[in-house]
Amino acid sequence: MKKMGSRGWIISLLMLCLVVVLAACGSKTGNNPSNSPSNNPGSSSNSETPAATNNGEEKKNVTLTFVASQNWVNKGSKVDSELIEAFTKETGIKVDLQVVPDDQYANVLKTKMTSGEVPDIFMVGAGSGAHKYLPEKYFADLSNEEWVSRYAPYAKAGTTINDKISGFMTWNVDGWGILYNKELFAKHDLQVPKTMEELMQVADALKAAGIETPLYMVGKEAWYWAIWFSQFGPKAAEANPGLYDKLNNQEMKFADVKEFESFLAEFKTLYDKGYFGKNSLSNAWDSSYEAMGTGKSAMIMMYQSYQGEVAEKYADSKANEWEMFPIPLAGNDMYSHSAGGNMRVAYKDSKNLDSVKQFFDFMAKPENLNTFYDGRPDLQSNPSFTDVAGKPSQAGKTILENAPGGQGLDMEYGLLYWDNTIIGKYIQELMLGSKTPIQVLEAIDNDRKKLFDAQNQ
């Protein structure tokens, strides 16, 4: 082998360096996000555009599946879809929003979970209601996300499960009560009822004045009947100290609570006396706006921002002036409220978890939060984030004034394994006469026992 001189060594070394530099440049050009169309202000996004994730990696053709109940998104406006579109435009990440009818949502979501088709994002109730979806198995830990530091205290508490932040919430603390048309009450010289007897007197007076449906019932929706019952939780807990803990620890049953039986019996009396009008079990949600907005009904059990929705549809209704009082059945004089409503959850084993977190980061930007709440005035009375100013309704102000017994957390958000749709169907059966109050309570107990047993296996 011929020995190479010093000049030859130098030339060879230079050639080797040139090859290495060219190879490095080629690699950098092919992988640098700054050279991709999605990062060029002058270019538009498309399905082939890489989307940068939180850790700087690139993903192509990312589509997040997002499953939600019908009344939880795009209600009254398309702000959810509009923000999703803006997110896709900014990042290239698509979001497939799948909306499920309210009365089918729980079953559809559970089916997806058990079949291994868990969405990247799904919505559940905050507080104890989230436990039925097995947080440890399915919920990602979001405790270290920046936006958590900007949560309102109730939002942080409502999304905390097993000492971890498990949801992204843009809801608000709200409560349900009986909203009444203040003008109609004044016209017929009626006062806010504080007892079941007074409520029946008001309803009788309204019927005598030609108002056939004094209290509009959204009877077609099974979950709506359960919302009525849920509001009675704080008063029942006042009579039974530690009630929620005892029910959640299987130390007590619904059927043991006499106050529950009394509430359901009086609820049935309202139905039997026709105060909900004819064929109330067929009344749809959308029909409530006309009934209240045109004065065909004087009262409705609703959440606090509902009056604003009526005002938008019926400008002459003076709905923004309407007021609210607690459901006065079985001695109730308390205001019951949620733990903050609903939250978006990230599936912990999603292959797109980084992209989901990027979506939550986008939604949590102050400007996007303000856009969201501007489009959802029904959620603006007490927003989840401190970045947004609250705008309480007249109903929200007056229900507190009409609740001398104080306030507390309703059963939907305070009890494990509470299912509005299932419980509501039992109450519908009560109205139709195929169940008694105690049978409704026993059915709830049987369902909860099965779920507790399954959890303990």
Q: Averaged over 382-406, what is the pLDDT? A: 93
pLDDT confidence of 76, banded at 50, 70, 90?
Answer: confident
Please, which contacts does 156-163 make with residues 24 or more away whose CB atoms are closer than 8 Å? 157/339, 157/340, 158/126, 158/127, 158/338, 158/339, 158/340, 158/341, 158/343, 158/413, 159/126, 159/340, 159/343, 161/130, 161/131, 161/135, 162/135, 162/136
CA torsion sign, 344 to 324 to 420 to 411? positive
Category of 310 on φ-ψ map: left (φ > 0), alpha (ψ -120 to 50) or beta: alpha
pLDDT for 453 beyond 70: yes
Q: Averaged over 167-179, what is the pLDDT? A: 94
pLDDT confidence of 447, banded at 50, 70, 90?
Answer: very high
* 193 to 207, 311, 328: CA distances (angstroms): 16, 24, 7
The residues pairing with 65 across neighbouring beta strands, listed in sequence order, are: 96
CA distance 252 to 246: 5
pLDDT for 32 beyond 70: no
pLDDT confidence of 127, banded at 50, 70, 90?
Answer: confident
pLDDT 10s digits, 182-228: 999 999 999 999 999 999 999 999 999 999 999 999 999 999 999 99
CA distance 404 to 426: 31
Per-residue burial over 291-322, b if 16 or more Cβ lie within 10 Å, else e, is bbbeeebbbbbbbbbbbbbbbeebeebebeeb
- Counting residues of the chain whose pLDDT is more than 90, the rounded percentage is 75
Answer yes or no: are the C-beta atoms of 346 and 188 closer than 8 Å: no
Give the DSSP letter of residue 219.
T
pLDDT for 30 beyond 80: no
pLDDT for 4 beyond 70: no
- For the chain, what is the largest distance between any 2 Cα atoms, rounded to a whole number of angstroms? 119
Answer yes or no: are the C-beta atoms of 263 and 244 closer than 8 Å: no
pLDDT confidence of 91, banded at 50, 70, 90?
Answer: very high
CATH architecture type of domain 57-171+340-379: 3-Layer(aba) Sandwich (3.40)
Would you state the pLDDT for residue 60? 57
Cβ atoms < 10 Å from Cβ of 403: 20
- Looking only at the bridges linking them, the beta strands covering 164-165 and 160-161 are antiparallel
pLDDT 10s digits, 287-318: 999 999 999 999 999 999 899 999 999 999 99
453, containing H or E segment: helix 437-456
pLDDT for 115 beyond 80: yes
pLDDT confidence of 7, banded at 50, 70, 90?
Answer: very low
Q: Does domain 176-337+394-456 have CATH number 3.40.190.10?
A: yes
Where are any strands of DSSP class E within 9-62?
A: 50-52, 58-60
Q: How many alpha carbons fall within 13 Å on the CB side of residue 137? A: 11
Q: Which pTM was predicted? A: 0.71
More confident residue, 363 or 38: 363
CA distance 387 to 390: 10
Q: Give residue for tokens 């509430």.
A: 263
SS3 assignment, position 95 = strand
Q: Do domains 57-171+340-379 and 176-337+394-456 have the same CATH topology?
A: yes
Answer yes or no: are the C-beta atoms of 357 and 54 closer than 8 Å: yes
pLDDT for 457 beyond 80: no
Structure tokens at 341: 């409503």
Domain chopping of the chain, boundaries: 57-171+340-379, 176-337+394-456
pLDDT for 385 beyond 70: yes
CA distance 54 to 355: 7
